[in-house]
Structure 1
């Protein structure tokens, strides 16, 4: 934007300079040409009168001195002829005395008592000259003629000098305007850049450096003040919302646990026909507990920051695959691993385990008996991909777009998921400097792809890629224990 402002200022100044200097230069050139012509014609007339007197008095021997003296003082060439066109003197000593010039147009015209003024090549030297040829006469009596000529390079030099002066003036003015415009543009752009940085910080969640409201144009200062006030209010609202979600979730855990215990204690005292309803009530209580646990995890992720560290993805995949294999076997589902070794990736502590637990829980929930869940690692030029592929019903394109929304579940879902599993996976992956996508599996089912940054590519480390910076404090979540029964993890 600074360049655009600078270009607009300079373009406007250049347009003004051209509009002023070009007409001035042309006017000066025309005035100099006219002044030289008038000067030549005036001097030629005066010299012709003096020459006519000398010719009339038969004192022609003074003519060479007269012509030579004028030529030395002015740099002009003076040629004097008698009434028949015979050269009497030439100040430049080029045309010898006695040469007949009566055939030359300007001399012939002057001998007919008419003056000729114009620009033409010198008949002897070929140089471009400005000349005036006037008759030397008394009344109608023609006693001779005089040609006075100046080289036009003198005039051209003057015109060239004025154009050069105008050009240098323009350069000085443009340089001065450039410095002034650059200072002005920076004065205007600096608060805009500050607002841009503040907006980026606010988009990342926290405004640490509010824009300076004491610099720049008044309009931008007022905008910075209004932005800071709005951002502060927004951060307070977000903080209050997160605190409420965390506090409410925490406070609900104890009564829910007590409610579940009380419901289980009812079982010996209920009619057997009511046991199904009791089981459903306990199941809903468990789902509500899992939802509260998911909300607590998301609240901790949003309010607590950690620094991504190097983690062995191959070891985590092997560990979680072995942990989930017995529970998957109870549902007649097989878990297998494939792909090439991935090595170490950037991830916040415990994130990989939590990501795999949620994705495996989702995959198991939709996998029919006799199918396979495949964990695949794949290395690309700039990323490491972790694929969790199931053979379930899959999702449509519209469902895959909404799958990361909190509490969203597909309309045909019949399981007891909470709709928080994938949002947690997405939050953990982004906090680790990567991202997660959902793709159709090659045959049927869903392919959840987690894109992570390899540690051996330092240019793509999370802090180097310009992602959100995390400062390690307390862990944002607790890694769930190895499942011995149905794992209580967040659902799709």
Structure 2
């Protein structure tokens, strides 16, 4: 931000200086040129008037001293010629060839013909730029002669160059002053914004929010800091309240439910006949309420703060889930199989993959008929086949996917769209669900940087999949950081807590 402000101030200052100094330099250069031309014309007119009087009086001898004095004063050369072009006087000795060349110059010829009162030209004589001025002597169609002056322009050009240099130095000094002032102002303006940015980053990272300074900087920034501090304080209060609820609800809700379930168990030996069905229904609803409370607490804990995904060995997690859930499937006269090759590591929140698979396997177990099969398929995303293969480079897959495919009745497209909503259950769903399992699966996938999807299985049933980002591999194909989530939960408790 400081660089952008500084660049903006300097650009604006440079444009203002250029719009002022360039016209000023051109005006000065033109004024200097006009001044030297006017001075040369005045000298030529003065010498022409003196020469006219001297020629009329027959005193041409006085012309030599006058042209010498004039040449010394202007620092140039003065030449007087007669009506026929003969040299009458010169400020420095000239050879016969130089006299003929001088008399043949265009401006001197024009003055002898009386065409112009003055003829001004810029020429280079002897490698030096000179201003040439020719004026006729006398008036009328037949002048008595002509005066020719040459004035070196190096002094004028030197003054013009010095003025341009002074303007450039002054502009540079002004730009430096503007840069210093702009730097001070930019730092004063951006300091509270940087503090506000750091406070926002700390808040986004889940750290304790520290108030941003609201006493320095422009009024708009101070007002923004005050608003941010109020928002951060309110958000921290809400998070604190949510943490307190999650901590207290775990005891305040689970303990009465456990006591209620124990009392219902104690009533079972004393209940008989038609009342036993009501007791069984009450126990089932109590278990369902306990699972619902557990799911809500899990979702509340997920929403407490930011979760940093870690590398998880997907192959190891799938093998552990197979060993844990296979006995439960066998008890329900069903099979759980694991197929597919190794997929390596993926990024996920700690314990998220285990909890996702527990929920999906629990749903699949309730959905399949007796003798059915549920297939657990870890695989790399098919999109990696579309990557460009370069020699010497190992391509990375776009996703690591884990599919749980059952042979149950499946879901319609509308049901699959609504399946991730909280508390939503399909009309023909098996009893015992809470409507929170798939919502928790989607939430766990999102905090891991992935996505959960439901599609129709090719042979009927439902294909529930979760996609996770692969771990970038370094060295000899090993992940940059290896870590596992929490220890797998017991399958029995997982089945009770899923949808």
TM range (shorter): 0.7 to 0.9
- Residues 415-470 of structure 1: CA deviation (Å, up to 9, x unaligned): 43323334544555566x5433325366252342241553855999799xxxxxxx
Q: How far does residue 116 in structure 1 lie from its aligned partner after superposition?
A: 1.1
- Check conservation: 1:41, 1:117, Cα contact below 8 A: no
- Cα distance change of structure 1 residues 221 and 457 upon mapping to structure 2, 3 Å threshold: farther
How far does residue 488 in structure 1 lie from its aligned partner after superposition? Answer: 0.8
Give the Cα separation in 2 of the matches to 1:435 and 1:455: 15
The residue aligned with 1:390 is: 405
Structure 2: distance between partners of 1:16 and 1:328: 82
Long gaps (5+) in structure 2: 385-395
Residue 219 of structure 1 aligns to a residue whose secondary structure is: helix
Farther off after superposition, 235-244 or 42-51: 42-51
Aligned to 2:388: none
Aligned to 1:329: 330
1:49 aligns with 2:49: yes
Change in 2 beyond 3 A, CA 1:62/1:98: farther
User: SS state of the match for residue 78, structure 1?
Assistant: strand
Kept in 2, the 8 Å contact 1:194–1:211? The answer is yes
- Residue 2 of structure 1 and its aligned partner are, at CA, apart by 3.9
1:27 counterpart residue number = 27
Q: Is the 8 A contact 1:202 1:231 kept in 2?
A: yes
Ranges in structure 1 where 5+ consecutive residues have no aligned partner: 464-474
Aligned residue number for residue 470 of structure 1:
none
The alignment's C-alpha RMSD in Å is 4.1
SS in 1 for 2:195: helix
Residue correspondence of structure 1 range 291-330 to structure 2 within 5 A = 291-303=292-304, 311-330=312-331
Q: Is the 8 A contact 1:87 1:100 kept in 2?
A: no
Q: Please list, as runs of the form range in 1=range in 2, the aligned pairs for 1:284-433 lying within 5 A after superposition.
A: 284-303=285-304, 311-343=312-344, 350-369=351-370, 370-378=372-380, 381=396, 385-391=400-406, 392=408, 406-409=422-425, 413-425=429-441, 428=444
- Report the alpha carbon displacement of residue 108 of structure 1 after superposing the two structures with TM: 4.0
Q: Give 1:376 deviation, angstroms.
A: 0.9
Question: Hey, what does 1:489 align to over in structure 2?
Answer: 497
State TM-score, norm by structure 2: 0.79
1:440 aligns with 2:441: no
Alpha-carbon shift at residue 81 of structure 1 (Å)? 0.8
- For 1:147, the equivalent position in structure 2 comes to 148
| Aligned-residue offset at 1:222 | 3.0
Note if contact 1:346-1:454 (Cα within 8 Å) is conserved in structure 2.
Answer: yes
Q: Does the Cα contact within 8 Å between 1:367 and 1:390 map onto a contact in 2?
A: no
* Counterparts in 2 of 1:212 and 1:294: CA distance versus 1, 3 Å: same
- Residues 151 and 461 of structure 1: CA distance in aligned 2, closer, same or farther (over 3 Å): same
Match for residue 189 of structure 1? Answer: 190
The aligned counterpart of 1:471 is: none
Q: 1-side partners of 2:52 and 2:402: how far apart?
A: 114
CA distance in 1, matches of 2:425, 2:474: 37
1:449 corresponds in structure 2 to 466
Aligned length: 476
TM-fit CA distance, 1:322: 1.5
CA contact (8 A) 2:354 2:488 kept: yes
1:159 aligns to what? Answer: 160
Q: Which string of whole-angstrom CA distances, capped at 9 and with x for unpartnered residues, describes residues 49-101 of structure 1?
A: 34445545555455455435544553423221123332234446476447783
Cα distance change on mapping 1:336 and 1:223 into 2, 3 Å: same
For the 8 Å contact 1:308–1:462, the answer to whether it is kept is no
Q: Secondary structure at the match of 1:132?
A: strand
Change (3 A) 1:382 1:173: farther
Contact persistence 2:107–2:134 (CA under 8 A): no
**What is the aligned partner in structure 1 of residue 392 from structure 2?**
none
Report the TM-score when normalising by structure 1. 0.80
